[in-house]
Amino acid sequence: MRSTRQSQAEHPLEPAVVVELRSIETFEAFYRRELPGLVMLAEALSGAAYADDVAQDAMLAAFRRWEDVSRYATPSAWVRQVCANKAVSVVRRRAVEARALVRFGSRRQEPAALAEDSETFWAEVRRLPRRQAQSVALYYVYDLGVAEVATTLGVSEGSVKVHLTRGRATLARRLGETFEEQP
């Protein structure tokens, strides 16, 4: 049978059997001590742009499980393993995103520019209340019907009709146009 000391040395991520022999560190002290090293590890594995986020995510995982992690023989080994795994995941995710951009990027169509003389109109649309502006923009930019605008916004068709009517009336008044309510 193995001694407790051998078991702890061979399995640093397993809970320590003899907790009384060492005091349990506070998370704050652990965080201050381990974060700089985690950032360096994350930078080495995932690049500088993601290092801070990866290290913070690893620390967040440790914080959420601190009651258990703090009792491990080497909590730092556990958080380093989490950090390394998260860094690898970031690299994989970036690779998948890069392949998707290459694959779909060539198919991307440039959006049609709004006419310069319509800038005043769209500036006034942006001043409308949120739902009125959304309804007007979806209706005119995408040429959607009332039912499609309602589906997009997750509201009733009647609500869209009210928002369109009020939005059009406000726009007509602000732009000095006459407003004739549409059916």
The CATH number covering residue 140 comes to 1.10.10.10
Tell me what the mean pLDDT of segment 158-165 comes to: 94
69 touches 75 (CB < 8 A): yes
Q: Which of 79, 105, 131 is the last residue of a domain?
A: 105
Residue 24 confidence (pLDDT) = 79
Output the six-digit token pair for 174: 């602000």
CA angle 21, 61, 32 (to 5 degrees): 60
User: Does pTM surpass 0.85?
Assistant: no
Residues spanned by the domain of 85: 4-105
Tell me what the mean pLDDT of segment 68-79 comes to: 93
- pLDDT score of 163 more than 60: yes
Question: Which range has the worst mean pLDDT, 13-22, 24-33, 80-89, 111-120?
Answer: 13-22
Of the pLDDT bands very low, low, confident and very high (cuts 50, 70, 90), residue 113 is low
The total of structural domains in the chain comes to: 2
What rounded mean pLDDT belongs to the chain?
82
Whether 164 and 79 map to the same domain: the answer is: no
85: closest CA among 125, 111, 55, 52? 55
% residues pLDDT > 70 (the chain): 78
Long-range pairs, 16-24, Cβ under 8 A, ≥24: 16/71, 16/72, 16/73, 19/71, 24/70, 24/71
